[in-house]
Structure 1
Amino acid sequence: MAAPQGPLDHRYRGEHPVRTLAYLLRPDRGRLALGVLAFLVKHSPTWLMPLITANIVDIVVRHRPVSGLWLNAGLLLLTLALNYPFHLLYVRCWYGSARRMGNRMRSALCHRMQQLSIGYHSKVSAGALQTKVIRDAENVETSLQQTGDQGLSALAMLIGALTVIGVRTPAFLPVFLLVVPAASALVMWLRGRLRAYNESFRQEVEHLSSRVSEMTTLIPITRAHGLEHTALRRMDGTLRQVLAAGLRLDRLNGRFGALAWILLNALGVGCLAGAALAAYHGWLAVTPGDVVMLSAYFSSLTAAVTTLMGLTPLISKGLESVRSAGEVLQAPDLEQNAGKTEVTAVRGRFDFQDVRHVYDDADRHSVRDFTLTVHPGETVALVGASGAGKSTVLGLVIGFLRPASGRILLDGVDMQALDLRSYRRFLSVVPQESILFEGTVRDNVAYGLTGVGDEEIRAALRDANALEFVDRLPAGLDTVVGERGARLSGGQKQRLAIARALIRDPRVLVLDEATSALDSHSEAMIQQALARLVRGRTVFVVAHRLSTVRGADRIVVMDEGRIAEVGSHGELLRRGGLYARMQAVQSA
């Protein structure tokens, strides 16, 4: 596979998808060429068969030596035997190149997704990105493979047959060069007339899908009110429409298919009759075998041209998937770290200087006039109503968001000048919803770390109040937690997230509603773990439950993006301001 940065070097923005596809296939150019050569060899029996048949007919009709018959039959058997090894070589080269290209495309998408800002990810659904990585890449692979199979087959037949005709019966070459493409274009025109009916049938099927989804959703209400017959009548009406559209499409397909078949075969009969007359009257140097050969080649060449013209939808589908992937690969919303100062140590002092931030398409600032100094080792809690700007401040601390104006200094250095990837090595986040992957407890706690022993993991679990339940799991540290930690309770998942933060020994800690969704017992255990976690670290806490932030060194009360009050729990209560009113509401 190419180096990770390779596929990203291409300028996807504004490029034609064919150029992008050629760029992704560039490392396999030699294999593709070898695959084409292998295909031409393995496919040679299809265009040699009419020629060898013509030779055998001439041997029989003109009573030539029987050795010629064995020679032609042996030649055909040899080409048939060569099909097996050369087919395997073709699959290995052509299909392998398509697979590697798809892998490069997926790798490029995954690397770009890791580089895109959190703002981009908040606007684009995870499902859409997943579709691009899986389905779009698969569409491009499939399109390339099937285009190779069908397109190379048609091209091999065209090149081989026209070469044989040009050498053996050159007088008929102009006829084939004119009549065959014209006949194929006529067949494609007939098929194109069906497009409107295919579209109508597709719309009816989509309507049926919508109606089935609606029916299944309404089943509890339908059954509760005894409306089964009403629901079935609605469904039967839709089914009748789908049936009528399908039957109409089938009849038209039948008519056009029969017309196309009659047309092609009538032209084939005309070719056969013309060649036979030329041989009978001696107008041209045509043998009986040539008559058979020309007739066979006519139908084969017509089918080949029709196949090439019919590849358009398949190619278009693949190129559209390249464009779809390009929407991510060319997205400009990147977190730029190249050339910036690498962070090698963090004390934990933050200076917010008149910071403002506004989200795209928002009509007001989410944070404004935010000025605050946070000292190393200090715990600062952010409280306020929903939409007050608390989560935005956390995003600024982590570096997911950048100030629209103002500055944030980390240990006296503007964060705009820092490589945020190196800064985040000194930072841990415990989110509201713990994010675990489908691996073992050990894998989740030590995620991204190397050389971590079981004793260190157990120590982190012990400090997170998680060791007691981990030791009761069937396989202990080797227990698989399930997708997103499905086999664990909410409190257990959160304690594993705290252990993951502890084992990194961060200098800066961000706690985003870490206990909001837990019962009182789990909350108590996690509060004990958090008390150990915050020691000696600069901590930013967001909480709706004010009872969880009483012990903070300072509490910052936010209102509509601004700082309304700052102080300790006791100081704020004595002032009788916004914090005191929030406390009174929660205590009521």
Structure 2
Amino acid sequence: MALPQHPLDHRYRGEHPLRSVAYLLQQDRGRIALAALAFAIKHSPTWLTPVITAYVIDVVVDHRPISGLWAGTGLLLVLLVANYPFHLLYVRCWYGSGRRMGTRLRSALCHRMQELSIGYHTRVSAGVLQSKVIRDVEALEQAFAQTGDMGLSALATLVGALVVIGLRTPAFLPVFLLVVPAASALVMWLRGRLRAYNESFRQEVEQLSSRVSEMTTLIPITRAHGLEHTALRRVDGTLRQVLTAAMRLDRLNGQFGALAWILLNVLGVGCLAGAGLAAYYGWLAVTPGDVVMLSAYFSSLTAAVTTLMSLTPVISKGLESVRSAGEVLEEPDLEHNAGKTEVTAVQGRIDFEQVEFGYRDSDRPSVCDFTLSVRPGETIALVGASGAGKSTVLNLVIGFLRPTGGRILLDGTDMEELDLRSYRRFLSVVPQESILFEGTVRDNVTYGLTDVTEETVRAALRDANALEFIDRLPRGLDTVVGERGARLSGGQKQRLAIARALIRDPRVLVLDEATSALDPHSERLVQQALGRLVRGRTVFVVAHRLSTIRGADRIATLQDGRIAEIGTHEELLRNGGHYALLQSAASA
């Protein structure tokens, strides 16, 4: 069954990140409009207070009817009380839209990571991808929230104040309108530098995330060899680079803020002096209340424009986070399955026809002119020196890699024409190091399956020689195994991996060095379990110990990505070829 198409699939193609943000918010346009309206109402006391204050001052100075004072005061009190319900409405609509936007972007990233090829995941650190899903989306959510809180506040103040000034003292409107273009010019001047510095800082933090992930993974090796200082030196070097980039970014933001503050306040002083002179000499029809209003509005406008400019680094950081996410969303190295034939049944016949495969960073192919026909239910063992191409062949069988030459047929159909996700429902892999997650024994064995009875789980564990230690665990099947199965031994984890394979009843089985890291007792138990697992299935096995593959139907010896010889254990020994040499070396 194909994965559901996600809204951002094949959408991001390097367009301006604002378009991507708008696309993410498309479903919340009504809520955002309602939030902006609610904010304008709740924020109205901020820009109405100076004009009401001016009116009250003129009532007092000119001895107008006192009812004007009570009317202005009452209006302000009503608007202040209305702030509460409209603020709650704003938070629900605006913040909710931001959270949903972040959820959609995280979902899009996770969907795309599942679609990207295994080759991509071997090139890109898991720590970097985790940083994009967590840190970058969080930065975008914060930018959206601050844009609402600060940006809408500044815009409401600007619009409200300019409208009042235009109606009450239009002669001063051109002076006030100088503030916006002056600030805009400053923003445009610094925007390019802010983007470059934000991108540099983001890359340094991603590198730090990768370093810390690497350090935590290697702690057992580091501790065992007394290399703590070496590991810390590597991390400290990256920390210094992050510190340098962060301080450089802070310095630029500081310069930006200081220049903006000086410019706007100089203009404010000039406006106050001009309004006072106009009232004093009677140049314009300006009342004492108007002077107070203009002074208050200029302070408000100064704060509003400063706020808008202070949002520039926040917004730049948020947009840089969208660009960072876009590096994953527009990555072309995908495993394409859309529109291909779904696999509904597998017999297990696999034919390699002059298959070739070469990695991007290699000047020679890892597999070359590889031709092999595997019958349903046959066990094929692959042996050879390191780098001979064994793991590449296994990855070709799984479909993690696609041939760069030749073709692979599954039951007579070219695998290029098949939906590999549906094919893998009939395939199981038992790797050298079992991959378990933080959960119970039951969860790990039945991962991805539903409605599995306890009898079925116990039968799989029994066939995997795992029931004997499972029943000794504190809570049996419901015992939590710890992160990556930390509470289990290597042999126990491997037997759980075999039980996970058994319960799926696969038609094709891949065993990659499944016993190489085990002690003799655990190896014997795992070999017994593997013997039950391979029955009636097409099996590809790579084994470090040649003694474990003697029972294979055929053994293929690989050299430089080619099959040098193939046959049964006895046939290859009689031929006295490369396999016989490997066997002699292993017995020595």
TM-score, length-scaled by structure 1: 0.87
- Asked if the contact 1:184–1:302 (Cα under 8 Å) also holds between the matched residues in 2, the reply is no
Deviation for aligned residue 1:12: 1.2
Question: 1-side partners of 2:473 and 2:228: how far apart?
Answer: 43
Specify the alignment match of 2:494 in structure 1: 494
Q: Which amino acid aligns with 2:346?
A: V
- Asked if the contact 2:268–2:302 (Cα under 8 Å) also holds between the matched residues in 1, the reply is no
Q: How does 1:26-105 map to 2 (within 5 A)?
A: 26-105=26-105
Deviation for aligned residue 1:307: 2.2
Deviation for aligned residue 1:529: 0.4
Task: Answer with 346-355 or 497-506: which moved more.
Answer: 346-355
Question: 1-side partners of 2:410 and 2:257: how far apart?
Answer: 73
1:34-82 per-residue CA deviation (whole Å, 9 max, x = no partner) reads 1111111111111111111111111221222222212111111111111
Specify the alignment match of 2:434 in structure 1: 434
Task: Answer with 276-285 or 12-21: which moved more.
Answer: 276-285
What secondary structure, in the 3-state scheme, does the structure 1 residue paired with 2:25 have?
A: helix
Number of paired residues? 552
Question: 1-side partners of 2:142 and 2:538: how far apart?
Answer: 52
Do the aligned partners of residues 150 and 261 (structure 1) sit closer, same or farther apart at CA in structure 2, a change above 3 Å counting?
closer
Specify the alignment match of 1:227 in structure 2: none
TM-score, length-scaled by structure 2: 0.87
2:541 is equivalent to residue 541 of structure 1: yes
Deviation for aligned residue 1:555: 0.8
Question: 1-side partners of 2:493 and 2:381: how far apart?
Answer: 23
1:372-416 per-residue CA deviation (whole Å, 9 max, x = no partner) reads 111111111101111100011111111111111212121122212
Do the aligned partners of residues 345 and 249 (structure 1) sit closer, same or farther apart at CA in structure 2, a change above 3 Å counting?
closer
Q: Which amino acid aligns with 2:115?
A: Q
Do the aligned partners of residues 386 and 298 (structure 1) sit closer, same or farther apart at CA in structure 2, a change above 3 Å counting?
same
Q: Which amino acid aligns with 2:453?
A: G
Task: Answer with 480-489 or 275-284: which moved more.
Answer: 275-284
What secondary structure, in the 3-state scheme, does the structure 2 residue paired with 1:359 have?
A: coil
Question: 2-side partners of 1:578 and 1:281: how far apart?
Answer: 108
Q: Which amino acid aligns with 2:559?
A: D
Task: Answer with 117-126 or 430-439: which moved more.
Answer: 117-126
Specify the alignment match of 2:333 in structure 1: 333
Do the aligned partners of residues 494 and 176 (structure 1) sit closer, same or farther apart at CA in structure 2, a change above 3 Å counting?
same
What secondary structure, in the 3-state scheme, does the structure 1 residue paired with 2:541 have?
A: strand
What secondary structure, in the 3-state scheme, does the structure 2 residue paired with 1:409 have?
A: strand
Deviation for aligned residue 1:512: 0.6
Specify the alignment match of 1:464 in structure 2: 464
Q: Which amino acid aligns with 1:416?
A: E
Question: 1-side partners of 2:257 and 2:430: how far apart?
Answer: 65
- Asked if the contact 1:349–1:375 (Cα under 8 Å) also holds between the matched residues in 2, the reply is yes
Do the aligned partners of residues 32 and 188 (structure 1) sit closer, same or farther apart at CA in structure 2, a change above 3 Å counting?
closer
Task: Answer with 83-92 or 6-15: which moved more.
Answer: 6-15
Specify the alignment match of 2:295 in structure 1: 295
What secondary structure, in the 3-state scheme, does the structure 1 residue paired with 2:403 have?
A: coil
Q: Which amino acid aligns with 1:433?
A: E
Question: 2-side partners of 1:105 and 1:12: how far apart?
Answer: 11
2:19 is equivalent to residue 19 of structure 1: yes
1:152-188 per-residue CA deviation (whole Å, 9 max, x = no partner) reads 111111100000111111121112112x347647987
Question: 2-side partners of 1:311 and 1:24: how far apart?
Answer: 21
Q: Which amino acid aligns with 1:84?
A: Y
Specify the alignment match of 2:218 in structure 1: none
Do the aligned partners of residues 586 and 301 (structure 1) sit closer, same or farther apart at CA in structure 2, a change above 3 Å counting?
same
Q: Which amino acid aligns with 1:283?
A: W
Deviation for aligned residue 1:554: 1.0
Question: 1-side partners of 2:167 and 2:157: how far apart?
Answer: 15
Question: 1-side partners of 2:480 and 2:344: how far apart?
Answer: 35
1:111-166 per-residue CA deviation (whole Å, 9 max, x = no partner) reads 11111121222222212211111111111111111122221111111100000111
What secondary structure, in the 3-state scheme, does the structure 2 residue paired with 1:8 have?
A: coil
Task: Answer with 118-127 or 426-435: which moved more.
Answer: 118-127
What secondary structure, in the 3-state scheme, does the structure 1 residue paired with 2:565 have?
A: strand
1:92-120 per-residue CA deviation (whole Å, 9 max, x = no partner) reads 11111111111111111111111112122
Task: Answer with 451-460 or 62-71: which moved more.
Answer: 62-71
Specify the alignment match of 1:553 in structure 2: 553
Specify the alignment match of 2:156 in structure 1: 156
Do the aligned partners of residues 331 and 249 (structure 1) sit closer, same or farther apart at CA in structure 2, a change above 3 Å counting?
closer
Task: Answer with 71-80 or 266-275: which moved more.
Answer: 266-275
- Asked if the contact 1:98–1:144 (Cα under 8 Å) also holds between the matched residues in 2, the reply is yes
Question: 2-side partners of 1:556 and 1:221: how far apart?
Answer: 41
Deviation for aligned residue 1:267: 4.0
Specify the alignment match of 1:354 in structure 2: 354
Deviation for aligned residue 1:335: 1.6
Specify the alignment match of 1:531 in structure 2: 531
Specify the alignment match of 2:417 in structure 1: 417
What secondary structure, in the 3-state scheme, does the structure 2 residue paired with 1:368 have?
A: strand
Question: 2-side partners of 1:190 and 1:501: how far apart?
Answer: 61
- Asked if the contact 2:187–2:312 (Cα under 8 Å) also holds between the matched residues in 1, the reply is no
Question: 2-side partners of 1:465 and 1:222: how far apart?
Answer: 38
1:291-336 per-residue CA deviation (whole Å, 9 max, x = no partner) reads 1000011121122222223322222211111111111111122222
Specify the alignment match of 1:228 in structure 2: none
Task: Answer with 366-375 or 60-69: which moved more.
Answer: 60-69
Specify the alignment match of 1:581 in structure 2: 581
Unaligned runs of 5+ in 1: 225-230
- Asked if the contact 1:187–1:306 (Cα under 8 Å) also holds between the matched residues in 2, the reply is no
Do the aligned partners of residues 516 and 181 (structure 1) sit closer, same or farther apart at CA in structure 2, a change above 3 Å counting?
same
Do the aligned partners of residues 260 and 307 (structure 1) sit closer, same or farther apart at CA in structure 2, a change above 3 Å counting?
closer
Q: How does 1:266-277 map to 2 (within 5 A)?
A: 267-277=267-277
Question: 2-side partners of 1:506 and 1:264: how far apart?
Answer: 72
Specify the alignment match of 1:170 in structure 2: 170
Question: 1-side partners of 2:349 and 2:121: how far apart?
Answer: 29
Deviation for aligned residue 1:515: 0.7
Specify the alignment match of 1:452 in structure 2: 452
Question: 1-side partners of 2:555 and 2:65: how far apart?
Answer: 106
Question: 2-side partners of 1:369 and 1:260: how far apart?
Answer: 68
- Asked if the contact 1:188–1:310 (Cα under 8 Å) also holds between the matched residues in 2, the reply is no
1:521-563 per-residue CA deviation (whole Å, 9 max, x = no partner) reads 1111100100111111111101121111111111111111010
Question: 1-side partners of 2:525 and 2:336: how far apart?
Answer: 40
Deviation for aligned residue 1:191: 9.8
Deviation for aligned residue 1:7: 2.0
Question: 1-side partners of 2:228 and 2:396: how far apart?
Answer: 52
Q: Which amino acid aligns with 2:85?
A: P
- Asked if the contact 1:434–1:494 (Cα under 8 Å) also holds between the matched residues in 2, the reply is yes
Question: 2-side partners of 1:64 and 1:328: how far apart?
Answer: 68
Q: How does 1:373-384 map to 2 (within 5 A)?
A: 373-384=373-384
What is the root-mean-square deviation in Å for CA atoms of aligned residues?
3.3
Q: How does 1:81-480 map to 2 (within 5 A)?
A: 81-178=81-178, 180-181=179-180, 184=183, 257=258, 264-265=264-265, 267-480=267-480
What secondary structure, in the 3-state scheme, does the structure 2 residue paired with 1:7 have?
A: coil
Q: Which amino acid aligns with 2:69?
A: L
- Asked if the contact 1:377–1:537 (Cα under 8 Å) also holds between the matched residues in 2, the reply is yes
Question: 2-side partners of 1:183 and 1:355: how far apart?
Answer: 65
Deviation for aligned residue 1:269: 3.8
Question: 1-side partners of 2:428 and 2:49: how far apart?
Answer: 71
- Asked if the contact 2:9–2:112 (Cα under 8 Å) also holds between the matched residues in 1, the reply is no
Unaligned runs of 5+ in 2: 216-221
Q: Which amino acid aligns with 2:527?
A: Q
